[in-house]
Amino acid sequence: MTDTPPEIAEMVRARLMAKTGPERFRMGVEMFDAARRMVLASLPADLSETERKRRLFERLYGTPLPVRS
C-alpha cells in the first residue's frame, strides 16, 4: 500500500533516474550506512563485539547469522 499520489511517485522516480549510476550507488551506500548506524545505536552498549555484529546482521537481514562449521 502507498499513500503517495502517482504523479509525485513518478516525479521522485524521474529525479532519481536522472542521476548517474555512480550517484545512485553512492545514495544506496549512504542509506545503508545510516541504517547500520541507527541499528547499532539501538543495541545495548555492553555487548561484546561479536554479539553486536550478530545482532546487527539479524536486524538488517531478518535471519540469524549462519553458524560456521
Confidence of residue 22 (pLDDT cuts 50, 70, 90): very high
Domain assignment present for 67: no
Structural domain containing residue 41: 6-61
Domain assignment present for 68: no
Domain assignment present for 30: yes
Q: pTM to 2 decimals?
A: 0.75
What is the predicted pLDDT for the residue at 67? 81
Domain assignment present for 17: yes
What is the predicted pLDDT for the residue at 69? 74
What is the predicted pLDDT for the residue at 15? 97
- Residue 57 to residue 67: CA distance in whole angstroms: 12
* Number of domains into which the chain is organized: 1
Domain assignment present for 49: yes
Helices H, strands E: what count in the chain? 3, 0
What is the predicted pLDDT for the residue at 63? 95
pLDDT single digits (tens) 26-62: 999 999 999 999 999 999 999 999 999 999 999 999 9
- Residue 10 to residue 34: CA distance in whole angstroms: 25
Domain assignment present for 40: yes
Domain assignment present for 32: yes
C-alpha cell at 8: 509525485
Domain assignment present for 10: yes
